[in-house]
Structures are given as C-alpha cells and as structure tokens.
Amino acid sequence: MGTGESIQQIREKLKGRPEPAELERWRQDSRAGVRKLLETYDRKQKAQAEERERLERFQDLERAFWARGMDQVAGCDEAGRGPLAGPLVTAAVILPHSIWLPGLNDSKKVTAARREILYGEILEQAVSVTVSILGPREIDRLNIYQAAKTAMTLCLTHLKVRPQAAVTDAMPLEIPGMEVEDLVHGDSRSAAVAAASIIAKVTRDHLMEDLDRQYPQYGFAKHKGYGTARHIQAIMDCGPTPWHRRSYEPLKSMSLKEEGVSENQLLQLK
C-alpha cells in the first residue's frame, strides 16, 4: 500500500527532519523503494546517535572541569615539531559545552579532506580560537621543546575568552590563574585538544603549500617539511631555504652562517 507520495518526494523529506507521524506513515508503505529509503535513513540516524554519544564522551575531561565551576576550558596542541623546514604552529581552542563536530579526533587520525571540513566547523562553533606561528629562527634559538612551550603559553593567554582551565597534549605549563592538565595523547582524549590539533595542522599545511609555490624544488606541499629522502636530496642539491631549521640535522652539520627566517604571528581567529 502506498501513501500518495512519490518515492522522490519521500527521499527529499528524509533529507530534512521528518515528523514522527510521517515516518510512521511511510513505514506502512509496501513499496520496496520506500522500505529501502527508510533502511538507509535508520542507519544514518543510528550512526548519528552513536557519534553524538562518542562526542559527549570525548568531552568527559572538560566536563570534570565544568563540574568544578570552570566553564571555559581550552585545549592546546601544536603541529610541526619534527620537520626540517617550516614553522611551528600552535592552536588553543575553547569549545562550547555541546558540540556537533562529526569525525572530530586527533588530526593524525583524520583525513586531509575531513580536517578541512572540521577546520571550518570548529571556527564556527568554538567559543574562542588563537593560533601562534613561530618561524625557524625562534625554533633554532629556543630549541623545539621550549618553542612549543612558549607558543602554547602565548595561545592560552591570548584567547579572547580567558579559560579557567586548559588541557595540553603532554606539555606541562604553569600559567597564573589557570589550571593546566598535560595529557599524553591528549588529542585522542580531549575534544578541545583534538580541535586545537585540527586547527594547528590545517593552518600549517596551508602555510607549507604556500612555501611549496615559492620553493617548488623542495616538495613542501607533499612532505610538509619532514626529512624525506627527496627533501634531503633537495637540500644537498639546492642548499637550504630561509625556512629550514639550522638546528636540525643535516643542516646543523653544514655550519650555515645565515639564520632562518624570523616570521612570527599570533592570530586571534575568534
């Protein structure tokens, strides 16, 4: 028995938010095409419900802070510790207490295409976002650990909304008036840290793509500055760019006189 509606009409309505009465009516429809549409719809609804539950669990750490009266909890992470070239990019993100960011996870576990989507969704939903960009000269001067520590502190203290607490990816920090918890694999255990990892990774990838256009012989867009065989060969053949880190091998052994570029930015994206 049909319902007087075409399968195409039902398909379009299922893309939105059908009323319970409509769903019940369609479930009485004997057409195979309608049954197939409803099976697909039910699978999607189940997947969405499971993802909402996962995201809710993903904020358990933040929820523990909220329960103690700390409503604004920031996550902080960086991208670019290991590469021979390019900036260190760090981000801090405060998420609202309820989020819908399907697929949010540690940036290394998310495809490049999904990271791009999440980047926009995070900026849209976040309470506040900052990004720090430190160039090679500062990395060489401070060392990468201290550079990351400095950048995280800058990001957390320059959010437009001041957090009462923060979670970092395995970086202990002491910031007056802010409780900071450093977690190993924090980007897989905290939604806010995962969001920061996405913002940092996408921002850095875009910067490396820009550098690839300036220095096409090095392949920055592909390896993002990491020490691949092709990248090291390009350094040997062409010498380093101003974006190469002089304190990293094999550049350190070259005893280069020129310092790397000093290109530092602190961006309040929201």
- Residue 169 annotated as binding site: yes
Sequence-distant (6+) residues with CB within 8 A of 102 are 48, 51, 55
Q: Which residues of 162-183 are buried (b: 16+ CB within 10 A; e: fewer)?
A: ebbbbbbbebebeeeebebbeb
In contact, 242 and 139? CB cutoff 8 Å? no
**Residue bearing tokens 């993002």:** 224
Q: Quote the distance between the C-alpha of residue 58 and its chain's center.
A: 14
In contact, 176 and 164? CB cutoff 8 Å? no
d(CA 180, CA 173): 6
In contact, 159 and 130? CB cutoff 8 Å? yes
Give the SS3 label for residue 5.
coil
d(CA 42, CA 33): 14
Binding-site residues for a divalent metal cation, in ranges, read 77-78, 169
Annotated binding residues: 77-78, 169
